[in-house]
């Protein structure tokens, strides 16, 4: 999934839950499957309003329906809910949500470097020759690692590969500029606590 697809999926997910009645529907369906009429009665809403809310939740993949005679019975897709939250909200995926934004510090230099060397999907397109610019990119990637958590080299490579295929140069740069530390002999890597 590209960074833009992740952003769109997250937006749909949060928009679907950004309503008090939809949150109540999720809560009710977490207890047991229900019909539109049953949910409408529990919420004090019309069946058409409840159907609208259910359609929004279904579009985001949080609710499913099955026919039962003349009614549809709605169920919460707990696996989808869990999967979305576990995948999209992982610490290493969060920095990609900032694509297209200026640097948090508001530093025009950092913003210029990011625009010049990072594409719309958050991938580094080239390594700048100037050390100061390269450091901006390293700090950007370092945010994908949770401070204090130990990562095996294989996982570090998987995370860095999202930014650029040259994971060895990126790993070396992160360690050299002390944005990450590592144990000798191919041991674990970690981002120091700040």
Which of 117, 113, 116, 123 has the alpha carbon at shortest distance from 167? Answer: 123
Token pair, residue 136, equals: 């901006």
Task: Say what the pTM is.
Answer: 0.49
**pLDDT in the model for residue 91:** 61
User: For each successive 10 residues of the chain (194 residues), what is the average pLDDT?
Assistant: 71 85 92 93 93 91 90 89 70 60 65 87 90 93 90 92 92 93 84 82
**pLDDT in the model for residue 110:** 87
Q: How far apart are CA 88 and CA 8, in angstroms?
A: 11
User: What burial letters (b/e) apply to 89-112, b meaning 16+ CB within 10 Å?
Assistant: eeebbebbbbbeeebeeeeeebee
Which of 162, 146, 9 has the alpha carbon at shortest distance from 91? Answer: 146
Q: Are residues 99 and 80 in the same domain?
A: no
Q: Which of 85, 100, 116 is the last residue of a domain?
A: 85
**pLDDT in the model for residue 183:** 87
Per the structure, the complete domain to which residue 102 belongs is given by 92-190
**pLDDT in the model for residue 173:** 93
Q: Are residues 122 and 78 in the same domain?
A: no
**pLDDT in the model for residue 24:** 93
Q: Are residues 123 and 80 in the same domain?
A: no
**pLDDT in the model for residue 92:** 60
Number of domains in the chain: 2
Q: Are residues 54 and 37 in the same domain?
A: yes
């Amino acid at each position: 999934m590209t960074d833009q697809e992740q952003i769109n999926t997250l937006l749909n997910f949060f928009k679907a839950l950004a309503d008090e009645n939809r949150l109540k529907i999720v809560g009710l369906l977490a207890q047991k499957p229900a019909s539109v009429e049953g949910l409408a009665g529990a919420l004090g809403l019309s069946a058409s309003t409840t159907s609208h809310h259910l359609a929004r939740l279904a579009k985001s993949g949080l609710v499913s329906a099955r026919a039962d005679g003349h009614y549809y019975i709605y169920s919460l897709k707990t696996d989808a809910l869990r999967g979305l939250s576990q995948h999209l909200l992982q610490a290493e995926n969060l920095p990609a949500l900032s694509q297209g934004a200026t640097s948090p510090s508001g530093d025009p230099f950092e913003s210029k470097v990011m625009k010049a060397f990072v594409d719309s999907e958050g991938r580094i397109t080239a390594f700048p020759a100037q050390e100061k610019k390269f450091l901006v990119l390293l700090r950007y990637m370092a945010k994908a690692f949770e401070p204090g958590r130990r990562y095996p080299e294989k996982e570090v490579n998987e995370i860095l590969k999202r930014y650029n295929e040259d994971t060895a140069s990126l790993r070396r740069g992160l360690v050299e500029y002390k944005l990450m530390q590592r144990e000798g002999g191919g041991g674990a890597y970690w981002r120091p606590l700040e």
